[in-house]
Structure 1
Amino acid sequence: MSALAALVRAYERMAARGEVPAFGFSQEKIGFLICLDATGMPVGAPIDLRQGTGNRRVAGLMAVPQPGKRTSAIAPNFLWDKTAYTLGVTAGAGRRVAQEHEAFAQRHRAWLGGSDDAGLRAFLGFIAWWRPPLFAELGWPQEMMDHNVVFALDRDRAAGLHLHDRPAAREAWARLCLSDDRPQGLCLITGRRGPVARLHPTIKGVWGAQSSGASIVSFNLDAFTSYGHEQGDNAPISEAAAFAYCTALNHFLEPDSGHRIQIGDASTVFWAEAEDSAAAAAAEAFTASVFGLDDTAGTPAGTAALEAFATGALRAVPEGVRLHVIGLAPNAARLSLRFYVQEDFAVILHRFAAHHARLRILPGPKDAAPSMWRLLVETAVLRKSENIQPNLAGEWMRAILTGAPYPLTLLSSLITRLRADHDVNALRVAILKSILIKNFRMEAPMSLDHACKDSGYLLGRLFAVYEQIQLAALGPGLHATVKDKFYGTASAQPRKVFPYIDSSAVNHLARVGKHNPARRFDFERQIGGIMELMAPGENPFPVSLPDRSQALFALGYYHQRHDAIHAPADMPFAEAAE
């Protein structure tokens, strides 16, 4: 099943439950309501429909007749629009406001001229009476300008019935939707014949895309067309199917939908499909807790659930549920599908639990449940979201969900950051450990492994011991330790710096031994234990280390540094003792 077909099926299920608007309607932000009497005269001031307080008031969503695509053309909406169209006023320069308002009035006179419905007749009376200067004369609020406006008969306001909700208005809108003499074709999504959509509705809410929306399917250049077809005829999708998949996707992309998470530049949505709607809802709630819908923090409850699932303690996993996950990213005026995964819910859960287990390390990070965003920023310069490498988020998430190897750009990005800023923290080491296990089939240790003989891991341990010796000799107030000066070179080209660091450590050990012989002996014992594990008869410091060994270097350094080797409180540093 394709991603668009799955979205159409999701729309049909949501439409049956009344969660999404019917065909020809869409959820739009509506700021104000104008009430009319039977003659079309406004009753009182416009009603503010925005939510919130003060300057933070925002327009809520309302199901209204679907707007057409606007580029440079003037295209009024049916029975609603922004104030430039409906009232002829705007807060901006408004170079063509008069033409927009005139087009709004003329189109509605043509659309509704033969109607005998009381509400539609009242609306025609209003547009015949209204003049833009009346906005100031009536004292209507300036903050209303440029918001979307709907209309209602005053007697219907209590029932929440707007003009576009009246049966006569819906019938008129249905005729307008079907009046376009589009050629019939076989829909590639549903397999049914119907009018082919020339232009598809826009998708809104994708991070980085145009605020007015972008398209998944569009043909705006001759190079994209074939056999003389125009626009949507190149990929025939019926108007009903195009509306369905766009409406479902827009619904999932809403900030509070509970179906989206931002992973790098990939706006990711997910939903579950099952015969039992309760089972699907339970799977979606579980997935939300596992993914973590907050960009900056994970969910400890989701982490605990994953661990319970991995150990077999969690058995109440819904059966017969299929999970769909789509990653969207902006690509100029279009949207690209970074990945689409559809799989049995239990299978995806198992893969995510395995990924979570691969990230486990001791000592762990402060945040016990880091989100994907929190992990990805560790690969970025200055830990800024905009510096995350393009495609990395989508490729990593797709690898997790499908069980494929992780992208090697993840490894190279982390190694680059470690060599640049020398911040060997728990999150970075956890990611490196997971790559070693997944991509290189290695048994990377979770905590300090005294038996591991890999040269990269041993050199990382040795480097950490050298740093501890330096700190014990000179005190913690150093502006730059051996890590700050030599980590990048030591992890990539050990032979260049390790001999120098080793000779410096001899002097530092002498300083430590002068005041604390027991601690000097402990350091020497550690160095000897590490050196004994290295391959005999070979230079312990290779000319260079490949990426895999550099990852092990970081892992060994992290484990050794956190092995709780500290001087007792009554045992001052050598410099302080002097």
Structure 2
Amino acid sequence: MILKELVDCYDLMVNSDKFEVSDSNFSNEKVSFKITIDEDGLITKIIDLREGSGAKKKTILVNVPYQSGRTSGIKPYFLCDNAKYFFGYEIDSKSLELKRCDQHIEASKNLHMEILENSYSKYKLILERFFDNHDKNLEIIKEKDPEVLKGGSIILRLKDDMKCIHEQGEVKKAFALYRQNKFENVEEVRGTCLINGDSNAPIAKIHKTIKGVSGSSISGAMIVSFNASSFESYGKSQGYNASISTENEFKYTTALNKLLSTDDNNMYLSGNTIVFWSSKLGAEEEQIIPAFMKDDDEVEDDNGETGGAKYNQEGIDKIESIIKLIKQGKTVNVDRINLDDSVNMYVLGLYGSRSRIFVRFWFKNSLGDFIKLTNKHFEDTKLKKKRKFSKKDFIYEEVGVKLSSILKTITPYGKSQNTPKTLINSLFKSILTGGVYPISIYNKILERIRAESGEDFAINHTRISFIKGYLKRYYRLNNLKDKEEEVTVSLNKESTNIAYNLGRIFAILEKIQMDSSNGATNIREKYLSSASSTPKSIFPNLLNLAQYHIAKIKKEDGKNFNYYDKVIGEILLNVNEFPAVFSSDEQGMFILGYYHQREDIYTSKKDKEEN
């Protein structure tokens, strides 16, 4: 259960040195400014806490008095709010004019006075003066930093204090007492918590919003909610979303918001937000997840060079080396790994709308099993790839293809923002269950190859790797062992598969035609689509045309193309007919044969010998 794992994650965070999580009276919120005031409540200093510069400034997270979230109406927060609640003014985002907000500042003052009423704290009087002097403070803000009026949360500090006002012990105590009294005066709905089975537990009425999920609003959205019309049919009174205790509601929302606010535990991929963690919270092992999913195959070694020979199973007992191997699409020798199999990995794929968050996928497994599944994926999709090893040298390696690369290559010109958001779900599941890859992705790649056949990038390592992996798994899981063995990493000269061999022939015909025209024309753009789908209609004409090109080359350049004539003849021995139509998997075999033969043609004799 996802929420149960997030509750457990919160408990891990409490005992973690890496994560600072709040108790039930506090929450981590985005803050833009820290304002220092004197004992008369007048501003003495404004500090912009945002990181970066210009329009790309990012707010920081601060542990502040609990904020339950607001959608509409007037709802002030205690000691952390924006300009309209603290100063009674804000700059309208559309008209850019200064707008009065008298009701907002009045509600904010009343809240602060109510909370601090019986605290006998000096901060009560100082804050009262602060609200009363809001017109004077407005003029100070205009002079010091008008950006404060454009929005963004503000926290307050008293001059000469080390801590902000909301961090002072007496203020924290007053806020905790206020929340306790508030809850005691509310009639509780009690029931059995669905997360841990606690009976007669106070049930949360409204769940805190989750912030930072792709597609959701800036103010956040809920991951647990019902339609208003559904409450009655579920036997719930409106406002009580699910039978989850207030304690566990706080834990799971706090943990998820914390993971989303930490760069090391989330990433954005094809329109989805991916959150990941482990039962060994904050450990280096967690970075195996983004290493596998992100498109980042150029990894520098300790000498600043890219490539992977140094990490080719050397020092494989180190997590750092495992991460670098996975980043490059290489399998890991599991027999040499000494991992704690009790460590579980968690991956949660999320996508949001304006008010709700949807779960795309959920994965929980041991670290060892995760590596084995990625190994299987890399093994199925691996092809030879030319990789830069140093500034001058290249090597050929057998590498697979990563999840983000697959998603990006199915879109026109590889623009990841155009990737259908739903495909990541089925692709991720197929990889982490060992099942057949989604046929929708396979068909889209064939479609992109046909549509972009005139471009050099149309038939690339990523696309062919996935085609090869799809065919490999499709044949294996359908017990077609003979066909599975035909799907190889590099050129298979012994293959008897007609589609594969016709793909090989097409690559040779392309080479002959390009040499004949000195690269001015390319038959791939004009004929690849029909040759890979309806070979009977096109191959006899292509073979006849090839003889014309060979004769032209011999006459003009004196080159001898008997070698290619001979190779075509040898391949044709395994082709007893030109089929009228190729099936979907045969089209993939055709493209694989074309790719293998083309790579063989353009690989030098020296490189072949070295490999």
TM-score class, shorter: 0.7 to 0.9
Q: Distance in 1 between matches of 2:55 and 2:354?
A: 32
Q: Which residue of 2 aligns with 1:388?
A: 419
CA-CA distance at 1:246 after TM superposition: 1.5
- Of 151, 155, 158, the match for 2:156: 151
Q: Are the equivalent residues in 2 in contact too, given 1:15–1:22 (CA < 8 A)?
A: no
Q: Corresponding residue for 1:440? A: 475
Matched, 1:237 2:238: no
2:122 pairs with one of 115, 118, 129: 118
What's the offset of the Cα at 1:126?
1.9
Instruction: Give the letter aligned to residue 379 of structure 1.
Output: I
C-alpha distance 332-108 of structure 1, shift in aligned 2 (>3 A): closer
CA distance in 2, matches of 1:60, 1:30: 5
Match of 1:246 in 2: 253
Structure 2 portions without partners, runs of 5+: 300-307, 309-320, 389-396, 477-483, 606-611
Residue matched to 2:380 = 358
Corresponding position of 1:4: 3
Task: Say if 2:293 and 2:404, in contact at 8 Å, map to a contact too.
Answer: no
Displacement of 1:501: 1.5
Report the counterpart of residue 572 of structure 1 in structure 2. Answer: none
Q: How far has the Cα of 1:53 moved from its partner?
A: 4.8
Matched residues in 2 for 1:233 and 1:56: separation?
38
Alignment of 1:385-424 (within 5 A): 385-422=416-453, 423-424=458-459
- Structure 2 residue aligned with 1:58: 58
Q: Residue 491 of structure 1: CA displacement?
A: 1.0
Deviation at 1:387, TM superposition (A): 1.9
1:209 partner SS:
coil
Question: In structure 2, how many angstroms separate the alpha carbons of the residues matched to 1:334 and 1:54?
Answer: 31
Question: How far has the Cα of 1:323 moved from its partner?
Answer: 1.0
1:207 corresponding residue in structure 2 = 214
1:562 aligned counterpart, secondary structure: helix
| Residue identity matched to 1:113 | E
1:526 matched to 2:567? The reply is yes
2:325 matched residue in structure 1: 304
**Is 1:264 aligned with 2:301?**
no
Distance in 1, matches of 2:234 and 2:347, equals 34
Q: How has the CA–CA distance of structure 1 residues 548 and 214 changed in structure 2, closer, same or farther, with 3 Å as cutoff?
A: same
| Residue 497 (structure 2) aligns with | 454
Q: 2 CA distance for matches of 1:430 and 1:365?
A: 15
1:177 aligns with 2:179: yes
- Code of the residue aligned with 1:112 in structure 2: it is L
Q: Per the alignment, in what secondary structure is the counterpart of residue 326 of structure 1?
A: strand
- Rounded Cα–Cα distance in structure 2 between residues aligned with 1:268 and 1:186: 31
What's the offset of the Cα at 1:26? Answer: 1.9
* Counterpart amino acid of residue 13 in structure 2: M
1:349 partner letter: I
2:41 & 2:467 partners in 1: Cα distance?
Answer: 69
Deviation at 1:34? 2.4
Asked whether the equivalents of residues 332 and 371 of structure 2 are also in contact (C-alpha less than 8 Å), the reply is: no
- Paired residue type of 2:588: A
Counterpart in 1 of 2:33?
Answer: 32
Indicate whether 1:130 and 2:151 are aligned: no
Report what 1:571 is aligned to. Answer: none
- Relative to structure 1, the CA distance from residue 392 to residue 137 in structure 2 (aligned partners, 3 Å threshold; closer, same or farther) is closer
Measure the CA separation in 1 of the matches of 2:604 and 2:77: 75
1:59–1:186 distance in 2 versus 1, CA, 3 Å = same
Deviation at 1:72, TM superposition (A): 1.9
CA change 1:566–1:303 in 2 (3 A) is: closer
* 3-state SS of paired residue (2:273): strand
Query: In structure 2, do the counterparts of structure 1 residues 62 and 565 end up closer, same or farther at CA, with 3 Å as the change threshold?
Result: closer
Which structure 1 segments of 5+ residues have no match?
569-578
Per-residue deviation, residues 527-578 of structure 1 (Å, max 9, x unmatched): 10110012x3xxx22111111111111111111111135999xxxxxxxxxx
The sequence identity of aligned pairs, in percent, is: 29
Instruction: Please say if residues 259 and 270 of structure 1, whose CA atoms lie closer than 8 Å, have aligned partners that are also in contact.
Output: yes
Count of matched residue positions in the alignment of Structure 1 and Structure 2: 549
Q: Residue type of the partner of 1:42?
A: L
Partner of 1:575: none
Which amino acid in 2 is paired with 1:401? L
Partner of 1:337: 359
Work out the CA distance in 1 between the residues paired with 2:547 and 2:598. Answer: 19
Change (3 A) 1:125 1:186: farther
Kindly state the Cα deviation for residue 317 of structure 1 after the two structures are TM-superposed: 2.2
Question: Which residue of 1 is the match for residue 84 of structure 2?
Answer: 84
- Alignment partner, residue 196 of structure 2: 190
Which of 223, 247, 268 in structure 2 is aligned with 1:216? Answer: 223
Paired residue type of 1:470: Q
Name the CA shift for 1:94/1:112 in 2 (closer, same or farther; >3 Å): farther
Bigger shift: residues 512-521 or 500-509: 512-521
Q: 1:313 to 1:519 in 2, by over 3 A?
A: farther
Q: How far 1:509 moved relative to its partner?
A: 1.9
Whether the aligned pair in 2 keeps the contact of 1:338 and 1:395 (CA below 8 Å) is no
Alignment partners' CA distance in 1, 2:416 and 2:464: 20
Alignment counterpart, residue 112 of structure 2, candidates 89, 93, 108? 108
- Kindly indicate whether residue 597 of structure 2 is the aligned counterpart of residue 560 of structure 1: yes
Rounded Cα–Cα distance in structure 1 between residues aligned with 2:148 and 2:498: 69
CA RMSD of aligned residues (A): 2.7
Distance in 2, Cα, partners of 1:262 & 1:394: 14
Greater CA drift, 69-78 or 116-125: 116-125
1:40/1:115 CA distance change after superposition, 3 Å: farther
The 3-state SS of whatever aligns with 1:329 is strand
Equivalent residue number for residue 168 of structure 2: 166
Counterpart CA distance in 2 for 1:113 and 1:211 is: 33
Task: Answer whether contact 2:553 2:559 (CA < 8 A) is retained.
Answer: no
SS at match of 1:70: coil
Q: Kindly report which structure 2 residues correspond to 1:270-349, keeping only aligned pairs within 5 A, or say none.
A: 270-274=276-280, 281-292=283-294, 299=299, 302-304=323-325, 310-312=332-334, 314-331=336-353, 333-349=355-371
| CA distance in structure 2 between the aligned counterparts of 1:12 and 1:298, rounded to whole angstroms | 37
Provide the residue aligned with 1:16 in structure 2. 15
The equivalent residue for 2:315 is none
In 2, distance between residues paired with 1:545 and 1:395?
26
* Aligned mates of 1:168, 1:370 — CA distance in 2: 57
Say whether the 8 Å CA contact 1:225–1:234 is kept in structure 2.
Answer: no
> 2:393 maps to what in 1?
none
**Deviation at residue 231 of structure 1 after TM alignment:** 4.1
Partner of 1:482: 523
* 1:87-122 alpha-carbon deviations (Å, 9 max, x no partner): 112121566722212211122222222221223442
Give the Cα separation in 1 of the matches to 2:75 and 2:298: 44
Q: How many angstroms does 1:439 deviate by?
A: 2.4
Code of the aligned partner of 1:258? D
Kept in 2: contact 1:328–1:337 (CA 8 A)? yes
What CA distance in whole angstroms lies between the structure 1 residues aligned with 2:604 and 2:562? 13
* Greater alpha carbon shift after TM alignment, 360-369 vs 45-54: 360-369
Write the distance in 1 (CA, Å) between the matches of 2:234 and 2:279.
38
- Where does residue 102 of structure 2 map in the other structure? 98
Superposed CA deviations along residues 137-186 of structure 1, whole A, max 9, x for unmatched, are 563311222121111222322xxx22212223223333443423231222
The one-letter amino acid of 1:562's match is E
What does the per-residue CA deviation read over 1:498-529, in whole Å, with 9 as the maximum and x for residues that have no partner? 22222211211221233566632111111101
**1:421 Cα deviation from its structure 2 partner:** 0.8
User: After the TM superposition, which of the residue ranges 558-567 and 210-219 deviates more from structure 2?
Assistant: 558-567
- Retained in 1: the 8 A contact 2:43–2:140? no
Q: Distance in 2 between matches of 1:197 and 1:96?
A: 35
* C-alpha displacement of 1:297: 5.3
Could you tell which deviates more after superposition, 50-59 or 393-402? Answer: 50-59
Q: Distance in 1 between matches of 2:347 and 2:140?
A: 53
